[in-house]
Amino acid sequence: MADAVEEVLEGSWDQDLAEALDSGGSDLDLEMDIQGELGLGGGLGLDGEEASGVIRVQELPAQQRAKLWKIALNVAGKGDSLSSWDGVLDLPEQTLIHTRCQQLIDQLGDVAEEEGRDMVSDVESVITFYCKSRNITFTPDLSWPHLLKPLLGLQLPRSDLYNCFYAIMNKYIPRDCVVKGRPFHLYRLLLQYHEPELCSFLDTKKITPDSYTIHW
């Protein structure tokens, strides 16, 4: 039964990925290069390990990269989670959220003024709705806006931007990432095993893992 389910999932992944690659127009050479780089010979046969690997798609147009991101994050075809929200930006920490979002867009460099304002609005809305829906207070030590940085060049609608952000937060960001949280204890144990001298040095200097990794 498990093998059958896995086969269906892989087949769906192959089909979605093939459609994304086929949607790029007439640039056949580019498509062949991408298929070769992704190891998509033989009918786009991806095994589980390949599907979960890092896919280099920087040479693709934004529209195709957006499709691949949504497929990889399993949010392709997801509904608009923001549709039930009134869009009001009124959290007590709203000024902090806006400032952090503006700083993120400023780091992008050559962005037109109007486009920059739209990006700030999208990122601020995504962060604000996430905080409201999860009853979370945004604090200065949170680096959530930076998670959206690689997605901003994909020209995603706000609803897709939120779905991608939510998937990243839910699947790939460890929980309890607070001072003295469990992920940092686990990190220290790994460091102690692989780099005992470095771990001992940091311990003697009272440099705890959360003090230098919480922003990661």
Measure Cα distances from 126 to 100, 104, 196, 199 in Å: 13, 14, 41, 37
Q: At what angle do helices 2-22 and 62-72 cross, to 10 degrees?
A: 170
Per-domain residue ranges of the chain: 2-72, 81-172, 182-213
Beta-carbon contacts of 16 under 8 Å, excluding residues fewer than 6 positions away, are 67, 71, 76
d(CA 65, CA 20): 8
Run means of pLDDT, 10 residues per run, the chain, 216 residues = 48 56 47 48 46 54 86 91 94 97 91 93 97 94 89 93 95 79 89 95 92 76
Instruction: Quote the DSSP letter at residue 206.
Output: T
**Residue 17: per-residue pLDDT:** 55
pTM attached to this predicted model: 0.66
**Residue 30: per-residue pLDDT:** 45
d(CA 32, CA 172): 31
**Residue 214: per-residue pLDDT:** 73
